[in-house]
Amino acid sequence: MSGRPSRHGPGPATVTTAVGAASPAAIAHAGTIAVVGRPNVGKSTLLNHLIGEKISITSRKAQTTRQRVRGILSLGERQFVFVDTPGFQTAHRTALNREMNRAVQQSLAEVDVVLWVVEANRYNLADRALLPLLPVDRPVILAVNKTDRVTDKRGLLPFVAQISQVREFAAILPVSASRDQGLPELLEEIGKHLPAGEALYPPDELTDRDERFLAAEFIREKIFRLLGEEVPYFCNVVIDHFEQEGQLRRIFAAVIVDKPGQKPILLGKDGDMIKRIATEARLDMERLFGGRIYLEVWVRVRSGWADDEATLRRQGF
């Protein structure tokens, strides 16, 4: 068994200073916000920086996020429940991608606000493919991310002017998720659209996912970040065993690969790669869960999982 991590600190500093210190005031406005956009625009990074903790994994590669994750931020009398979605997939029609597309559409149907993320000065066909999926009866806020990459900020104006034509937006805001720029303003804007109502989650809660899920995600992230282009797509991570004894968590995980020939790639020379994956994942877990972690990661072979719907369902898709 494993519980859900909660905030041990005071919450995101950048956010509390700009919008007003988080007080124990009762929540009076609460709502869900779907974070959508093509792969790699920085949706998960934005969610992590908005809530001030890393709960959604990120990498330079497409499809890093495979399942929905909620990130919760309770600020004064407002509660923001962000739903990170996998990027909408059009290229490969596997069972996995079908499930991911369904997850995107489902999250759009249920939310109060849509936060559409695009990259500064990069609007392409993959971004445009999302347009018809955006709900017409819900406010859509556009976050123009990665503005830190634009040296001359005036260069953004024609881009913003152009993109403001593609549909109606409740607001368009330039941000840099990784540098925490523009985030208080973004929250302020989203806050205006949260419906009146009670808290959806306890105010100190960070995410709807339990530690077991997050542990597997952190391992998956390291595979995405440390291994070659194609490797993450034939890997899956399962937690075989998770136990907690006081402040010590013992976690036994396995990376499942398709073919025997893929196993040495994960292991690396003298097992160096899998050791590095485990070490980096463990540090993330210690930071988020608090307390010590004993982590073992094994590599196992099993074929055809990406197209096996029964397996996906068992794993919670």
Ligand X SMILES: Nc1nc2c(ncn2[C@@H]2O[C@H](COP(=O)(O)OP(=O)(O)O)[C@@H](O)[C@H]2O)c(=O)[nH]1
Residues that bind ligand X (CB under 6 A): 37, 39-45, 58-60, 64-65, 87, 145-146, 148-149, 176-178
Question: Considering beta carbons, is residue 41 or 186 the nearer one to ligand X?
Answer: 41
Question: Considering beta carbons, is residue 59 or 67 the nearer one to ligand X?
Answer: 59
Question: Considering beta carbons, is residue 65 or 176 the nearer one to Mg ion?
Answer: 65
Judged by CB under 5 A, the stretch of 16-24, 36-44, 95-103, 150-158 that binds Mg ion is 36-44
List the beta bridge partners of residue 274: none
Candidates 192, 214, 197; CA nearest to 65 is 214
Interior angle at CA 75, CA 73 and CA 79, nearest 5: 55
Strand 113-119 with 29-36, pairing: parallel
DSSP 176: B
CB of 65 to Mg ion, least distance (A): 3
Judged by CB under 5 A, the stretch of 9-17, 44-52, 212-220, 282-290 that binds Mg ion is 44-52
Cα–Cα dist 83/55, whole Å: 11
**40 lies in the site for Mg ion, by CB under 5 A:** no
CB of 148 to ligand X, least distance (A): 5
Distances (CA, A) of 100 to 10, 92, 186, 312: 34, 11, 26, 11
Question: Considering beta carbons, is residue 69 or 113 the nearer one to Mg ion?
Answer: 69
Q: Is the torsion defined by CA of 287, 65, 68, 259 positive or negative?
A: negative
Type of residue numbered 187? L
Among 2, 40, 44, 101, indicate the residue that binds Mg ion (CB under 5 A): 44
CB of 87 to ligand X, least distance (A): 5
**Helices 272-289 & 211-226, crossing angle to 10 degrees?**
140
Question: At 240, phi and psi to the nearest 5?
Answer: -80, -35
Question: Considering beta carbons, is residue 32 or 58 the nearer one to ligand X?
Answer: 58
Among 40, 65, 97, 107, indicate the residue that binds Mg ion (CB under 5 A): 65
Residue with tokens 């390291």: 222
CB of 296 to Mg ion, least distance (A): 27
CB of 109 to ligand X, least distance (A): 20
Question: Considering beta carbons, is residue 7 or 54 the nearer one to ligand X?
Answer: 54
Residue 70: contacted member of Mg ion, ligand X, none (CB under 5 to 8 Å, by partner type): none
3-class DSSP state of 232: helix
Q: Residues interacting with Mg ion, by CB under 5 A? A: 43-44, 65
